[in-house]
Amino acid sequence: MICDCSRRNPLPAREMDSIFVTRAYLPPFEEFCASLAEIFNTAHLTNRGPLHDRLEAKIREYLRVEHVHLVANGTLALQLALAGLGIAEGEVITTPFSYAATVSAIMWERCVPVFVDIEPGNFTLDPALIEAAITDKTRAILPVHVFGYACDVEAIENLAARHGLKVIYDAAHAFGGLWQGRSLLSFGDVSTCSFHATKLFHTAEGGCCVGREAEVSRAIYLIRSFGHIGDDHFRLGMNAKMSELQAAMGLSIFPYLPEIIASRKAASEAYDRRLAGKLARPAQQAALEYNFAYYPVLFKSEAELLRIIGALSKADIHPRRYFYPALNRLPYVPRRAVCPIAEDVSSRIACLPLYSGLAENDVERICMIIQENLY
């Protein structure tokens, strides 16, 4: 026997009692063991094994796109997107309201991030401000579908076409989200996704690149695997491959994706019923079929946010300040642009706990503590 499948979820009870901002979905243990057994039987651990290829095919079909490349993590996906599009050095226009990985990937690829402020409704890059930031050094626009809410893809891509720029969407939060019936990952020259354990679909660590053009897709494929196929070397590459162990987790979770999204939707609606009119929330997007990736709430002030986070922490409930500080304020970025909306939002926004299986009575308890501490 390969492993002990007698336990559905082997986390200690003490850890399970805490409520964190998220909790990784774990598939039935015996189903994950079945995938592990296949790995042990083939001794194929990495380098595009059978599990990797099956997961890549499933994701390609799910997203209804032609070119998908699984990678080791979402940050590498962003770097591969830049490298695959030939964007080395120059400026990349991006958002100050995202996780640090967004700007890290730009800087690791020797480019300069140029920050443009966000719009206040959904906290995504404001297309009305992009054109003023374009210079003769601009090579690309890298917006983020933050919290799974859609960027203004039409406006951004029209603007990019007029100026001959590439568009890379950081869609780390957007897996399962649809814009006008299309996957959010189908937009842009390349879209990237994270399959980190915190995401609604995960491979423990991992991610993917979705390329629109075959030539770019081939470049990403080569760069991901050291730039060579067999003994034929084509270009400089890196090691960004997803292993069979990661793919095994993804394949075990994939059939439960509708259930995961439905459970997160139910928890989100429970929050909505109890917090309506008490805290600001992102604006509804009629064309978006939302994936319920996060439950962000905007407090009146940073002081209110800190007071409520403190009260929740005393009850062993742990929301998170996504995303603080604004990236334009990081000490290592080369240009300290002023982005007043992003700086304001980042100082007073937090995500409440949201994950598959979050009990309604826990949502009720979280909301009760919040309401008791609102002035």
CATH class (in words) of the domain with range 29-254: alpha beta
Domain ranges in the chain? 29-254, 257-372
Which helix (H) or strand (E) element contains residue 93? strand 91-94
Chain centre distance of CA 3: 31
* Nearest-angstrom CA–CA distance, 172 and 229: 28
Crossing angle for the helix pair 74-84 and 214-224, to the nearest 10 degrees: 130
pTM of the model: 0.94
For residue 88, the model assigns a pLDDT of: 87
Q: Which residues neighbour 338 within 8 Å (Cβ) at sequence distance 6 or greater?
A: 328
* Nearest-angstrom CA–CA distance, 232 and 225: 12
Residues of the chain with pLDDT under 70: 1-16
For residue 372, the model assigns a pLDDT of: 96
For residue 286, the model assigns a pLDDT of: 97
Nearest to 294 by CA among 147, 196, 156, 187: 147
For residue 17, the model assigns a pLDDT of: 82
* Nearest-angstrom CA–CA distance, 295 and 272: 10
For residue 16, the model assigns a pLDDT of: 56
Q: Do domains 29-254 and 257-372 have the same CATH topology?
A: no
DSSP code string of 204-247: SS-EEEEESSHHHHHHHHHHHBTTEETTEE-S---B-PPPHHHH
Span 49-79, pLDDT tens digits? 999 999 999 999 999 999 999 999 999 999 9
Quick check: 145 and 151 in contact, CB under 8 A? Answer: yes
Quick check: 65 and 210 in contact, CB under 8 A? Answer: yes
Level-2 CATH architecture, domain 257-372:
Alpha-Beta Complex (3.90)
Task: Show the tokens assigned to 204.
Answer: 């423990």
Query: Could you give the percent of the chain with pLDDT greater than 90?
Result: 94
For residue 2, the model assigns a pLDDT of: 43
Task: Show the tokens assigned to 135.
Answer: 């210079």
Quick check: 81 and 220 in contact, CB under 8 A? Answer: yes
Using DSSP's 3-state secondary structure scheme, residue 328 falls into helix
Compute the chain's Rg from CA coordinates.
21
* Nearest-angstrom CA–CA distance, 135 and 29: 53
